[in-house]
Amino acid sequence: MKTIIMSLACGMTLFLGNFIQELGWKAPEHADKTENPLIANKTAADDGKKIFQKLCWSCHGESGKGDGPASVNLKIKPANFGSAAFQSQTDGAIYYKLSEGRGEMASYKNILSSKQRWQTINYLRTLK
């Protein structure tokens, strides 16, 4: 009986994690109105790559596919930055998520400056 209960609990945890991931993480509507002051800036994207390589790759993977070594221990799989779903978001929505964080995704508003967060977003745009 104990084994059956443990199996059900593990199954529900996996199911809920996948269900939550499928629902997606939507930023509030007001975030979509936030404009990227560094849009299409190649230097900013290059600087953002350096930030990504220091802070993001362990969960999101070296190429941003959500397959980093730390991702195996996370309840919700990290975003694949090359996916159509990710790339269809506004820069403002991505900025909001990077700033605020959620669950196992850290908030970077006190770790990275606003400029560094925009640089990172510019780099993420190159992963499509």
Q: Encode pLDDT of 50-72 as tens digits.
A: 999 999 999 999 999 999 999 99
Amino acid found at 94: I
pLDDT (0 to 100) of residue 2: 52
* Residue 93 CB partners (closer than 8 Å, separation 6+): 26, 27, 31, 32
Higher pLDDT, 98 or 11: 98
pLDDT for residue 19 is more than 60: no
Report the predicted TM-score, pTM, of the whole model to 2 decimal places. Answer: 0.80
Q: Among candidates 114, 93, 128, which has minimal Cα distance to 38? A: 114
**Domain boundaries defined on the chain:** 26-125
SS (H, E, C) 68-126: CHHHHHCCCCCCCCCCHHHHCCCHHHHHHHHHHCECCECCCCCCCCHHHHHHHHHHHHC
Range 95-106 average pLDDT: 95
Range 83-93 average pLDDT: 97
Task: Work out the mean pLDDT of the chain and round it to a whole number.
Answer: 87
pLDDT (0 to 100) of residue 6: 44
CATH number of the 26-125 domain = 1.10.760.10
